[in-house]
């Protein structure tokens, strides 16, 4: 039994399977580890505000304000959910993290350097995975619950930024165009190999 905590984040475009896969990974890891699923926007007050009023509500703020809100929510997420779980020896699997801010607010025109600056207090993940999907192919998955960020052109721009972080070696690419079970297998393989190196 590996008692050491780890912070794993799952990133990807809208509808790429992040929630499906992050929950599955946490469940599979529970065979050998303590594991917990968390997500951004978080369950905290700022997270709820972002989810209800910005992503699916009518109120849009400037991109700059939105970036600051996501960064503030991230610190709440870390303080209230991630750090306590890590201290308890849990593997934390987060559905979205700082790369979402870089990719989405970056695609909306903000500089990546500034987004990095406002997130400089955010804990660095131990392992960051990117579920890579064809933006066009996943549009069909989204039709019933489109948020404000989801048009195809935006998704293409967002993917380009994620790709930069794959090239830098910060994100590990997972082929997300395969069926759910195949994607889950690949993610479990990468996560397990990583956790072994730390035990």
Ligand X SMILES: Nc1ncnc2c1ncn2[C@@H]1O[C@H](COP(=O)(O)OP(=O)(O)OP(=O)(O)O)[C@@H](O)[C@H]1O
Measured in degrees and rounded to the nearest 5, phi and psi for residue 12 equal: 160, 170
In this complex, which beta carbon is closest to ligand X, that of residue 87 or of residue 140? 140
Q: What residue has token string 């109120």?
A: 59
- Taking every pair of Cα atoms in the chain, the longest distance, rounded to a whole number of angstroms, is 47
Q: Which of 186, 175, 198 is nearest to 32 (CA)?
A: 198
Give me the least distance between CB of 78 and ligand X, in Å please.
20
In this complex, which beta carbon is closest to ligand X, that of residue 91 or of residue 149? 149
Question: HSE of 154 in the Cβ direction (CA atoms, 13 Å)?
Answer: 15
Angle between helices 180-198 and 18-29 (to 10 degrees): 50
In this complex, which beta carbon is closest to ligand X, that of residue 144 or of residue 197? 144
Does 186 interact with ligand X (rule: CB under 6 A)?
Answer: no
Q: Please give the sequence-ordered ranges of beta strands (E in DSSP) within the chain, or none if there are none.
A: 6-12, 34-39, 90-95, 127-132, 172-175
Binding test (CB under 6 A) with ligand X, winner from 5, 8, 12, 47? 12
**Non-local CB neighbours of 144 within 8 Å, separated by 6+ positions:** none
Binding test (CB under 6 A) with ligand X, winner from 1, 179, 196, 197? 179
Rounded to whole angstroms, how far apart are CA atoms 109 and 113? 12
Q: x/- binding map, residues 126-165, to ligand X, per CB under 6 A?
A: ---------------x------------------------
**Binding segment toward Mg ion, per CB under 5 A, in 13-21, 46-54, 80-88, 128-136:** 13-21
The residue sitting closest to Mg ion, measured at its beta carbon, is: 19
Does 14 interact with ligand X (rule: CB under 6 A)?
Answer: yes
Binding test (CB under 5 A) with Mg ion, winner from 19, 79, 80, 154? 19
Interface residues toward ligand X, by CB under 6 A: 12, 14-20, 141, 179-180, 183
């Amino acid at each position: 039994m590996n008692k050491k905590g780890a912070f794993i984040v799952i990133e990807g475009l809208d509808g790429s399977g992040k929630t499906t896969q992050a929950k599955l990974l946490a469940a599979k890891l529970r065979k050998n580890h303590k594991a917990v699923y968390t997500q951004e926007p978080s369950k905290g007050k700022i997270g709820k505000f972002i989810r209800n009023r910005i992503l699916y509500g009518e109120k849009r703020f400037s991109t700059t304000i939105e970036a600051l809100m996501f960064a503030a929510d991230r610190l709440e997420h870390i303080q209230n959910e991630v750090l306590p779980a890590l201290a308890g020896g849990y593997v934390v699997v987060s559905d979205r993290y700082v790369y979402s801010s870089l990719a989405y607010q970056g695609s909306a025109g903000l500089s990546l350097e500034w987004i990095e600056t406002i997130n400089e207090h955010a804990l660095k993940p131990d392992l960051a995975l990117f579920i890579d999907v064809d933006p066009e192919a996943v549009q069909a998955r989204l039709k019933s619950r489109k948020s404000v960020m989801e048009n195809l052109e935006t998704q293409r721009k967002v993917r380009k930024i994620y790709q930069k972080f794959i090239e830098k070696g910060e994100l590990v690419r997972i082929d997300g165009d395969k069926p759910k079970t195949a994607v889950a297998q690949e993610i479990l393989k990468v996560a397990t190999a990583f956790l072994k190196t730390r035990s």
